[in-house]
Amino acid sequence: MTPILNRNPEFRFVLSACLVASELFIMSVTNANAVGTGNRLKTIFGHLQQQEISSYVTPHVTSASAGVADTLPFKYTVDNPKLTLEQRQFYEENGFLVIKKLVSPQKLDLYRNRFTAICKKEVIVPGMTIMRDIAIKDSEFVPGEQAVTKIQDFQRDDVLFDYCALPEVVEYVECFTGPDVIAMHTMLINKPPDSGKMTSRHPMHQDLHYFPFRPADRIVCSWTAMQKINRENGCLVVIPGTHKGELLVHEYPKWEGGVNKMYHGIQNYDPSQSRVHLEMEEGDTVFFHPILIHGSGTNRSKGFRKSISCHYASGQAHYIDVKGTEQETIADEIYEIIRRKLGRDVDITFADVWKYKSRPVKGENTLNST
């Protein structure tokens, strides 16, 4: 059989997007909601199990901060009465928007408890990836939650997926994606107290680097603080307005203490652009554009810092071929992992993997039905 890489270069990237920041891509076919992925996926992934692997503050929606002349006609938002004109202009101009206290403490407790159960292996979620921070990955025994820095791809866990489908979140998401909404990528980040090596940092990057679907303007991330998050425990850092730029070249930062797997960063961006630290309270949620340059700081506190997030795309989006683009580097990296785990003769297409991985939230879905 011809290696899939040679036959279908797109395949490499689709897998990379599935493996963002992870060591191993794991899938299971139980409860598959994908359209038409069927037996090939079963053959390839069916035997695999869940596996471990190694302020200027929040924008005030009441302050008129964006120049109307710069933002009309609207490009990054769609017509939807949910956003005030001020909020809409803020996102158009800055590429992010914080909504205070959007998710209730009760819901966040539910997700926190589920996370703990997953870490203790009381719950096994098909298709999910569990990651450890580079600083603790070689420790002989670090129990439960303290060993896990991130869980990813929890679309098949109904408890955690509840976050992605929360009406209060999705009502905002629709202002960016339009009415047809698909959850493409999910994460619960448990940023550990830094060991002193500063590996808990997340380098400045653009999320689109990992995504083989477009248009970028109809993709949005919803990121919710599960506790008070400030500069001490490593809040998000964004560079307002960078969503108007291009996807830039990403590579591993040359950090002395090491870098977590797949934590690619942008090495060359304009250093004169000012950063904004998004200090947030529990339940506050930031929506941001996939080209917005962002990252997060070192966790200098003694506790773990938790956030939950979902990247959504329009159901009318389409997949792209990343061959010959900036995104090919991450595709190559992922391909090495896939080749190691699944062999060279994997017979699966680009679209198959995303059809499996993503989960519709509402409306029509032509992205995965063709």
Ligand X SMILES: O=C(O)CCC(=O)C(=O)O
What residues numbered 204-263 form the site for ligand X, per CB under 6 A? 207
x/- contact string, 306-325, with ligand X (CB under 6 A)?
A: -x------------------
Q: Would you count residue 289 as binding ligand X (CB under 6 A)?
A: no
DSSP state of 194: P
CB of 351 to ligand X, least distance (A): 23
Q: At closest approach, how far in Å is the CB of 220 from ligand X?
A: 13
Using CB under 6 A, which of 185, 202, 209, 261 touches ligand X? 202
The contacts of residue 14 (CB under 8 Å, 6+ apart) are 212, 319, 349, 350, 351, 352, 353, 354
CB contact set of 340 (below 8 Å; sequence gap of 6+):
none
3-class secondary-structure state, position 92: helix
Q: What share of the chain is helix, strand, coil (3-state, %, to 5)?
A: 30, 20, 50
- AA letter at 49: Q
285 counts as binding ligand X under rule CB under 6 A: no
Among 193, 188, 202, smallest CA distance to 233 is for 193
- Is 186 a binding residue for ligand X by CB under 6 A? The answer is no
Q: Which residue in the block uniquely carries the two structure tokens 């409860």?
A: 31
Of the candidate spans 51-59, 116-124, 183-191, 264-272, the one that interacts with ligand X by CB under 6 A turns out to be: 183-191
157 counts as binding ligand X under rule CB under 6 A: no
Among positions 97, 125, 183, 189, the unique one binding ligand X when judged by CB under 6 A = 189
Distance CA 226, CA 148 (A): 16
Q: Tokens 């490593």, residue?
A: 234
Stretch that binds ligand X, among 57-65, 116-124, 165-173, 186-194 (CB under 6 A): 186-194
If binding is defined by CB under 6 A, does position 296 make contact with ligand X? yes
- The answer to whether residue 149 forms part of the interface with ligand X (CB under 6 A) is no
Minimum Å gap between C-beta 155 and ligand X is: 16
Considering the rule CB under 6 A, would residue 133 count as an interface residue with ligand X? no
Of residues 59 through 78, those in contact with ligand X by CB under 6 A are none
What are the CA-CA distances from residue 164 to residues 38, 170, 316, 348 (Å)? 25, 7, 18, 27
Q: Which of 305, 316, 302, 294 is nearest to 363 (CA)?
A: 316
Binding segment toward ligand X, per CB under 6 A, in 33-41, 60-68, 185-193, 347-355:
185-193
Q: For residue 149, what are the contacts with CB-CB under 8 A and spacing of at least 6? A: 131, 132, 133, 136, 189, 190, 191, 192, 260
Q: How far is the CB of 190 from ligand X (least distance, A)?
A: 10
Minimum distance, C-beta of residue 204 to ligand X, in the bound complex (Å): 9
Rule CB under 6 A: is residue 294 a binding residue for ligand X? yes
Cβ 307 to ligand X, closest distance in Å? 5
Interface with ligand X by CB under 6 A: which residues? 187, 189, 191, 202, 207, 294-296, 307
